[in-house]
Amino acid sequence: MKKILIVDDDEQITNLFEKFLVEEGYEAAGLNDSSKAVEVANSFVPDLFLLDLMMPQPDGFKLCRMLRATQKFSHTPIIIITALGDTDSKVVAFGAGANDYLQKPFHITELSKRIKALI
């Protein structure tokens, strides 16, 4: 079973994504404290990350860079899910190592298809 780690400071979002992903057949874990994301990832070892950008330190940009700098996750797919839709945010996110970028609001089916495409 493929594992997905969701990192978002909004507990409602992580709970919603967890429920949806479990229904889709994934093992999902939600984390609301981005400062613990690398530590949790090392024990959970996800096959894909879902990251919010606007979080307390580290923000999603920095967390994405931190994950890419960790050899274990240097090639693990990362999907950014955020309300930020400006071009600069997208460019920085892809420059930090994100594989995909999904702007809120979106249809949950789109997220499902993007996950399947990456794993």
As a whole number of angstroms, the distance between CA 11 and CA 107 comes to 19
Instruction: For residue range 37-67, list pLDDT tens digits in order.
Output: 999 999 999 999 999 999 989 999 999 999 9
* Sequence letter at residue 112: S
Structural domain for 53, as ranges: 3-118
Check pLDDT > 90 for residue 100. yes
State how many domains the chain has: 1
CATH of the domain at 33: 3.40.50.2300
C-beta of residue 67 within 8 angstroms of C-beta of residue 73: yes
pLDDT of residue 105: 87
Strand pairing of 27-31 and 48-51? unpaired
